[in-house]
A and B are shown apart, each in its own frame.
Chain A
Amino acid sequence: MMNLQGRRAARGTILAAVVVGVACDSSESRPLIDGGALAIQSRTPIDVASLGPQVGERVPEFSLPDQHGETRTLESVLGPNGALLLFHRSADW
């Protein structure tokens, strides 16, 4: 979270430097050419903890084939006390 705020603060400084036209601190300066600044402005910092369903929220429904070709839905994988739902990168590498 601190990191996120730090990044936002750094970006705010760059924007201010462009508007007022003063040189900003070298540690925070970026080349502001060829629309580079715009691209940087539009980038959303990644915060994995804020992505996807949060505690208390219901996850989306799904319907996907398993390794035996059998279709599984959220409903069908829930046990009497719920489920552990793991997202992993790949079984292949």
Chain B
Amino acid sequence: MELQDRLEDLEAQGLGVVAISYDSEEVLADFSQRGGITFPLLSDDDSRVITEFGILNTVAAEGRGPNAEDPEVVADVAKYVSLFGASEMIVGTPYPGTFMLDRTGRVTSRFFEEFYRERNTTANVMLKLGVGLSPIAAIEGSTAHLKLTAYPSNPSVTVGTRFSIAVEIEPNANMHVYAPGAEAMGYRVVSLNLTPTPHVRFEPVEFPESEIYHFEPLDERVPVYQSPFLLLQEAVVAATPETEEALAELDALTLSGSFDYQACDDEICFPPVSLPLSFTLSLDLLDRQRANR
């Protein structure tokens, strides 16, 4: 389980980790032993806490009720319950998601999916929160203008996995690269351009806040990055039966593309640079193993 792999990183940040489901203590004990889980898995076997939180999946019951044939219910069942219809076992489950809490139990951020087959990875949540993540399988490179470290949030993915490609960039001393907004002044903004693939959907790249660079000779004020910064390219492995079938034939998923930028120092603007990047992610089969009973 991926959350277990990240437990040390999370605990080092002073965060407690806990998971809640409607499973019985026995099922959780079996799962925790099989998966080597050391954090608490809580048993909400009557779904009371899930209901009190207000995140009970009510579509599951609706899909088995008198309005099951209503086209809106049918559409919601496919989205929130199952592509294969509302089975009894989904009644009582929550909409899956993650709350990040502060020390007083207030929500500081939350991650819920719009489609039940898509799941944020723990590492992706950590990257988005800016919680320290030890990169695995990083690509490192340096040019005359900057140093670059690029890595996937997760070394392996499966259908529905929401993960990120992270690119950490450290401009050299006195060097800057351009942030969104600078294109209006004729500069090339940093960009991460991964080639679209039929099985992966890319979200828009997230840019951190930039700073304004004052170029005195032209009295120009341009948005730039001069300190280390992080670009996040979030991606989702398509959760369709077609992709599931296609991925079953593959050992790995390769994403490739380039990191493009233009750098300038206080005197010279260098020609644009395109650095090729390629990431190979291994494919996990869905865990179909069940508790022995």
Residue numbers of A with Cβ under 8 A of B are: 7, 30, 36, 39-40, 43, 45-46, 48-49, 51-60, 62, 64-70, 72, 74-75, 77-93
Contact = CB atoms under 8 A, between A and B. Distances in A.
Interface of B: 3, 10-11, 13-23, 25, 27-29, 31-32, 37, 40-44, 49-50, 52-55, 58-59, 62, 66-67, 70-73, 76, 79-80, 89-90, 93-110, 112-114, 122, 125, 290-291
Contact of A87 (B13, B14, B40, B53): B53
Contacts of A64: 20, 42-44, 49
A66 to B, nearest CB: 4
B32 A82 contact: no
Nearest to B55: A52
Which 10 pairs, one residue from A and one from B, show the smallest C-beta to C-beta distance?
A81-B14, A83-B16, A91-B31, A67-B28, A79-B16, A66-B40, A64-B42, A80-B14, A52-B55, A87-B94
B16 A78 contact: yes
Nearest to A46: B76
Nearest to A47: B114
Given A40-B72, A48-B97, A72-B42, A82 B10 contact: no
Nearest to A59: B105
Given A66-B42, A84-B100, A78 B90 contact: no
Contacts of A81: 13-15, 102-103
A58 B103 CA distance: 10
A67 B102 contact: no
B70 A67 contact: no
Given A46-B76, A64-B20, A67-B25, A86 B107 contact: no
A80 B103 contact: yes
Contacts of B99: 52-53, 59, 84-85, 87
A83 B17 contact: yes
B98 A86 contact: yes
A53 to B, nearest CB: 5
Nearest to A81: B14
B108 A85 contact: no
A78 B107 CA distance: 12
Given A67-B29, A92-B23, A92-B291, A87 B100 contact: no
B93 A90 contact: yes
A53 B32 contact: no
A70 B11 CA distance: 20
A46 B14 contact: no
17 contacts: A36-B70, A39-B66, A39-B67, A48-B55, A48-B114, A53-B53, A64-B20, A70-B40, A72-B18, A79-B16, A80-B103, A81-B14, A81-B103, A86-B17, A86-B20, A90-B93, A93-B290
Nearest to A74: B105
Given A48-B95, A85-B20, 18 more contacts: A39-B67, A48-B114, A51-B55, A54-B110, A56-B106, A62-B20, A66-B28, A66-B41, A83-B15, A83-B101, A84-B98, A84-B101, A86-B3, A86-B20, A87-B50, A87-B97, A90-B89, A91-B27
